[in-house]
């Protein structure tokens, strides 16, 4: 009997503690993949059974994490994203471009053999974790497995991740993700932002969602309309932290977990350790991230960068892929890969020159290193504007990158102690938390699974029509009542006035 009870107990606790989690990440970028793997690995290590479909093949995978490789067809050259082209687009063109990219990728995802086979097999999952990044149709998996729907936003909170949760998104102080604005906008920036935020909302509602719905209905026959799934997301984990990004209001089922990808430090290799230890005048780390190849930077800009470095007494570590550098100054060391987080932690590193990617910016601030940002595309311009606004960075726009502008920016950050001080202050904010962001992410995932999707966290905003939400019906009602009141008042006064004058007239006559 005791044995029976023990076994029952074990089965029950196993049932409660271990969930089956399905995840699909499609964006072929290092940062998206890194963010997904960090979270899913942690979940697997805590005993959950995790299945991940991804176009990447990770090197080593923990025990409970099953990775299925989605073999995407090779991209034809003309459909490949060229960051230099995106840079030339207007803000609205960029939004259309990224939404269209998402729609195209969804077609590819649902068409790969691995996904189709998987959908035909008999699987059961308690939760689905998908990237909230122009990927609305992926919510079909939540419907297919009748599982709790959890989004992971690889970028900071924005209209894409806030809208399905009914989060307020006020254009007066929250800039569009692809804009070059921070949360402090002047009159014209606010005007631009208001137009863009409104246009993006209408475009998403009338163009993007219907197309995702077509995909959804095609690949998940019998699925409800996408709106019913889109506005039924149980949890949104967003890659935002107040140490690096401006504060915004959040509904209770949006959980900021910014910085969760930051791993415990490892020891630097002996060569790197010696190199940085010997940098008596300080060192600069320079990396344009994983998307932009240094080899793609045109010669004039490359020479400008080299000329600036040549004049510095600091040593420079440059993450460089390409082999067209001949006149390398002696204080510059190139490498195709560097352990970025460990380098940023070295006390001699005084400056990080970056493309302003979110993960890089977070790592810089986590380790208290000020930044010169050369933003390129996507959310980088907004991240950079925000970093400059916070006071830990100077921005050099890529178009204006010359020897002169770069020199001024680098000197400013190296000489003016303000930047380092603010970076270190923000680093202390980053570290001052009740729990690690990764623990927080895991807690909330388990929470919404435990509470069957946690509908109690959803705000009523999701059930209102747009005119109720914007109080337009109230405005209309109040204006109508006011006009009615004024109209009646006017009629009454007119009547009284007429009576008075007529009675006066009659008095005059009788005299």
**111/468 with CB nearer ligand NAG:** 111
Q: How far is the CB of 226 from ligand NAG (least distance, A)?
A: 10
Tell me the chain's radius of gyration from C-alpha atoms. 28
Which letter, b or e, does each residue of 103-138 get, where b requires 16 or more Cβ atoms within 10 Å of its Cβ? bebbeebbebebbeebeeeeeebbbbbbbbbbbbbb
- Residue from the set 61, 81, 89, 108 that interacts with ligand NAG by CB under 6 A: 108
CB-wise, 106 or 306, nearer to ligand NAG? 106
Site for ligand NAG contains 253 (CB under 6 A): no
Q: Which one, 107 or 277, has the nearer CB to ligand NAG?
A: 107
Distances (CA, A) of 5 to 8, 12, 164, 376, 477: 5, 10, 44, 61, 65
Instruction: Judge residue 323's burial from the number of C-beta atoms within 10 Å of its C-beta, 0-12 exposed, 13-18 middle, 19 or more buried.
Output: exposed
For residue 210, CA distances in Å to 111, 149, 319, 382, 393 come to 19, 20, 42, 28, 41
148 makes contact with ligand NAG (CB under 6 A):
yes
CA distance 496 to 490: 10
Burial class (CB in 10 A: 0-12, 13-18, 19+), 308: buried
Assess 151 for contact with ligand NAG (CB under 6 A): no
Binding range to ligand NAG, per CB under 6 A, among 3-11, 40-48, 103-111, 302-310: 103-111
Least distance to ligand NAG from the beta carbon of 175, Å? 31
Stretch binding ligand NAG (CB under 6 A), from 104-112, 272-280, 326-334, 474-482: 104-112
Our finding on whether 89 is near ligand NAG (CB under 6 A) is no
Closest CB 454 distance from ligand NAG, rounded Å: 8
Nearer to ligand NAG, 229 or 292 (CB): 229
Contact 289, 354 (CB under 8 A): yes
Residues between 213 and 232 with contacts to ligand NAG, criterion CB under 6 A: 224, 228-229, 232
CB of 79 to ligand NAG, least distance (A): 11
Stretch binding ligand NAG (CB under 6 A), from 61-69, 106-114, 187-195, 393-401: 106-114
- In angstroms, how far is the first alpha carbon of the chain from the final one? 118
How far is residue 283's CA from residue 351's CA, in Å, rounded to a whole number? 7
Residues 403-462 that bind ligand NAG (CB under 6 A): 452-453
Count of residues that bind ligand NAG according to CB under 6 A: 12
d(CA 275, CA 165): 49
For residue 121, the minimal CB distance to ligand NAG (Å) is: 18
CB 164 within 8 A of CB 151: yes
DSSP strand pairing (349-354 vs 371-373) = parallel
Minimum CB–partner distance for residue 391 and ligand NAG (Å): 42
228 versus 399: smaller Cβ distance to ligand NAG: 228
Output the CA angle 321-325-328, nearest 5 degrees.
115
Q: How many helices and strands in the chain, by DSSP H and E?
A: 20, 13
CB of 148 to ligand NAG, least distance (A): 4
Check: CB of residue 157 under 8 Å from CB of residue 173. Answer: no
Q: Rule CB under 6 A: say whether 234 interacts with ligand NAG.
A: yes
Q: What does the alpha-carbon distance between residue 403 and residue 155 come to, in Å, rounded to a whole number? A: 31
- Smallest distance, ligand NAG to C-beta of residue 110, A: 8
Which range touches ligand NAG (CB under 6 A), out of 105-113, 248-256, 298-306, 327-335? 105-113
Binding residues (CB under 6 A) for ligand NAG: these are 107-108, 111, 143, 148, 224, 228-229, 232, 234, 452-453
């Amino acid at each position: 009997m005791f044995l029976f009870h023990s076994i029952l107990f074990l089965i029950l606790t196993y049932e409660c503690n271990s969930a089956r989690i399905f995840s699909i990440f499609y964006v072929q970028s290092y940062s998206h993949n890194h963010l997904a793997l960090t979270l899913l690995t942690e979940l697997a290590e805590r005993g959950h059974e995790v299945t991940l479909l991804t176009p990447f093949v990770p090197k080593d995978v923990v025990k409970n994490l099953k990775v299925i490789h989605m073999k995407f067809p090779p991209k034809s050259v003309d459909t490949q994203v060229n960051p230099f082209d995106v840079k030339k687009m207007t803000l609205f063109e960029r939004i259309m471009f990224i939404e269209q990219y998402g729609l195209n990728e969804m077609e590819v995802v649902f068409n790969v053999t691995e996904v189709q086979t998987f959908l035909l097999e008999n699987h059961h999952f308690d939760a689905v974790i998908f990237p909230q990044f122009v990927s609305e149709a992926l919510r079909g998996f939540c419907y297919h497995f009748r599982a709790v729907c959890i989004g992971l936003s690889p970028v900071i909170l924005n209209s894409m991740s806030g809208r399905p949760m009914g989060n307020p998104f006020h254009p007066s102080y929250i800039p569009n993700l692809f804009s070059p604005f921070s949360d402090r906008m002047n009159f014209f920036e606010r005007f631009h932002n208001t137009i863009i935020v409104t246009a993006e909302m209408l475009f998403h509602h009338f163009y993007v969602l219907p197309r995702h719905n077509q995909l959804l209905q095609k690949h998940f026959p019998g699925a409800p309309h996408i709106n019913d799934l889109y506005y039924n997301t149980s949890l949104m984990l967003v890659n935002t932290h107040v140490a690096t990004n401006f504060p915004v209001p959040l509904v209770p089922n949006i959980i900021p977990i910014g910085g969760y990808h930051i791993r415990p430090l490892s020891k630097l290799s002996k060569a790197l350790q010696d190199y940085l230890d010997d940098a008596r005048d300080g060192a600069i780390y320079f990396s344009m991230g994983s998307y932009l190849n240094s080899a793609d930077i045109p010669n004039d800009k490359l020479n400008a960068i080299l000329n600036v470095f040549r004049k510095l007494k600091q040593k420079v570590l440059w993450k460089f892929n390409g082999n067209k550098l001949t006149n390398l100054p002696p204080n510059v060391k190139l490498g195709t890969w560097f352990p970025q987080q460990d380098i940023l932690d070295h006390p001699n590193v005084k400056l990080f020159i970056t493309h302003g990617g979110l993960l890089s910016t977070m790592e810089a601030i986590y380790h208290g290193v000020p930044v010169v940002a050369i933003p390129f595309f996507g959310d980088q311009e907004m991240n950079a504007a925000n970093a400059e606004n916070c006071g830990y960075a100077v921005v050099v726009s890529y178009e204006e990158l010359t020897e002169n502008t770069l020199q001024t920016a680098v000197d400013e950050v190296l000489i003016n102690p303000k930047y380092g001080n603010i970076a270190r202050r923000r680093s202390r904010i980053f570290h001052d938390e009740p729990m690690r962001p990764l623990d927080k992410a895991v807690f909330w995932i388990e929470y919404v699974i435990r509470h069957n999707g946690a509908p109690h966290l959803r705000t009523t905003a999701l059930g209102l029509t747009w005119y109720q939400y914007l109080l337009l019906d109230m405005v209309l009602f109040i204006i109508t009542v006011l006009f009615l009141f004024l109209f009646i008042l006017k009629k009454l006064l007119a009547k009284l006035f007429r009576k008075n004058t007529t009675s006066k007239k009659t008095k005059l006559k009788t005299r």
